[in-house]
A and B are shown apart, each in its own frame.
Chain A
Amino acid sequence: MASIANRIQLAERAGRLNLTWAFVERQTNLWKRYWAWELVWLVYGVVNTLAITFIAEEAEAAGIASDAGALVLFLLLGTLVWAYLSAVLDDISLVITWERWEGTIEHTLMAPVPRALHLIGMSVFGVLHAVVRTLLIFAIAVPFFTVDLDQANWISAALVLAVGSVSVAGLGILAGVLPLLYPERGTQMSFMLQAIILLVSGVYYSVEVLPDWLRVFSYISPATYLLDGIRAAIIDGQGLSGVWDELLILAGFGALLVPGGIAVFAIAERYAKKTGQLKRQG
């Protein structure tokens, strides 16, 4: 056996990137095994995007909307951003649920990996996976509609997405606390969280239509600024200066939600260890 000192030093010096990548690699291997589910979610994402965006075509046909093209793009971007957001949130919290069911959570939490690297690794996979899935939905859905993307500023949109993803990952880590503490109901609880974000963030409508008391919640949802930034970049063709406010706010959310999420997860982990809740469930 390696000496005790060497063993600790090996763990402490293990490359952070290597440790983080271990979680990305594991999730990739898992999703490869569940490719049929991936196909199901892709089809669902495409159908959902089409079903909602066709509402804009109906609005034009019924004479309700004057500029159907803008409404198509508004709804298309809303559904795509929502597909992206929910994929990241699902990925992070479902992994915890999965580990509870398989019983591997004890072995994962026993490994000498700093919790921050563990959670960041899961988030990196969640973001990469969601980007790939959303791009596929986008590529399949766009040909169904006549949309003008000539004015779109893709660099601004990509920057908003990148900065916004940090805060979404923070939300995902917070959502991951639920299945850690409540193995049976945690996933349902995280769906509730997603539903609230969907309601208040202006995914399919502008937040201005919300009642005042409900609109307050839109200000504290990072999804609101992510959607505003993406729409400003793609529909209005805003450059960096035009999405600067959204970028700053999203960066602020990220700086708060990621360390906050990791800290809350660590507190929840300690509570679970005190009350004996890590034992295999399911």
Chain B
Amino acid sequence: MSITNTSRPADNAVSSLGDSVNENGRGAMNEIPLAATGITKHFGGDFDARRLIPWRRSQNGRQGRAQVLHDVSFEIRRGEIFGLIGANGSGKSTVIRIFSTLLIQDGGEVRIFGFDAVEQSQKVRALINRVSADPSFFRNMSAFENLLFFGRVYGLTPAEIKRRVPVILGRLGFEYAKATEPMSHLSRGQQQKIAVARSFLTSPVLMLLDEPTTGLDPRSKRDVQAFIREVRAEHDATILLTTHDMEEAELMCDRIAFIAGGRIVAEGTPPELRRRVAGGRPLAEITMETVFMELTGKSIEEDEVMEEVMT
């Protein structure tokens, strides 16, 4: 059973809708799933009157300013799995939140299939979905009740949801009988599988996966990875995957960008990235961890410690 209605996009429909969106081309739909140009973002540092209260942490009414993204630019091609690799605190989740329309950048532009993620967020939201490392649900509602709600708000009918849920859960290796149990009764891995199901249920054309396999046991991890590849192969999905797991990145991604300290430090296919640091060594001997270390000047673990100290 298919989880979607059509296999390939009707390009004529795409271009005609694009024309109708904007005759000048700006804001029109196009074939580039995601184009980020010069994204910057900071947190804190803005005036906050509450900080003037003596017993609050205060420095002239201002909190410390942290610049978390610096001129981040990259483009994702249709149908590819693009990896954004970096340590915890490197800015991966901030990037994903901006693409998810949950955070507004200070500068730069994000276009998803040509639509501006800030000004045309309603259209963008119909095209995307997201899995985060933290599977947030109504814990006392059952897995199915959660999926029912999150499917309905994307315009699916209860009948469609009831048809799709067992198929997706089956492919994720989740026992459907457990879908009627409250989320709080499920293990962390089972909850994460429901989070993956929630996102794929709505047939997004751009999937934003923010460390989707974090906390999963090896078998569940393989189930989720296999499902992601399967959906990409069968359903014309484009996928942005963030992870700090180098093995997963190499296994899953067509192209990779390394992010460190809120900056994109390198981008390319895994072989291209290896060649950049090879220096005459056989490519087979160079791991992604080595590539990350040589391109960023530190290991991913060191980078995580650095970022934690900074933030």
Chain A interface residues toward B at CB < 8 A: 1-14, 18-19, 21-23, 25-26, 29-30, 33-34, 98, 102-104, 106-114, 118, 270, 273-276, 278-280
Contact = CB atoms under 8 A, between A and B. Distances in A.
Contacts of A102: 136-139
Contacts of A278: 102-103
B76 interface: no
B197 interface: no
A276 B152 contact: no
Contacts of B104: 270, 273-274
Nearest to B126: A11
Contact of B138 (A5, A12, A14, A104): A104
Given A30-B140, A103-B134, A106-B102, A6 B6 contact: yes
A5 B236 contact: no
Contacts of A33: 140-141, 182
Q: Which of A5, A7, A19, A25 has the most CB of B within 10 A?
A: A7
B103 A276 contact: yes
A25 to B, nearest CB: 7
Contacts of B242: none
Contacts of B130: 107, 110
Interface in B106-141: 113, 122-123, 125-130, 132, 134, 136-141
A5 B140 contact: no
Contact of B125 (A4, A10, A111, A270): A111
A14 B123 CA distance: 13
Nearest to B205: A1
Interface stretch (B9-17, B165-173, B217-225): B9-17
Interface in B7-64: 7-10, 13-14, 16-17, 29, 43, 46
Contacts of A3: 6, 8-10, 13-14
B148 interface: yes
A200 to B, nearest CB: 27
Contacts of B102: 106, 109-110, 273, 278
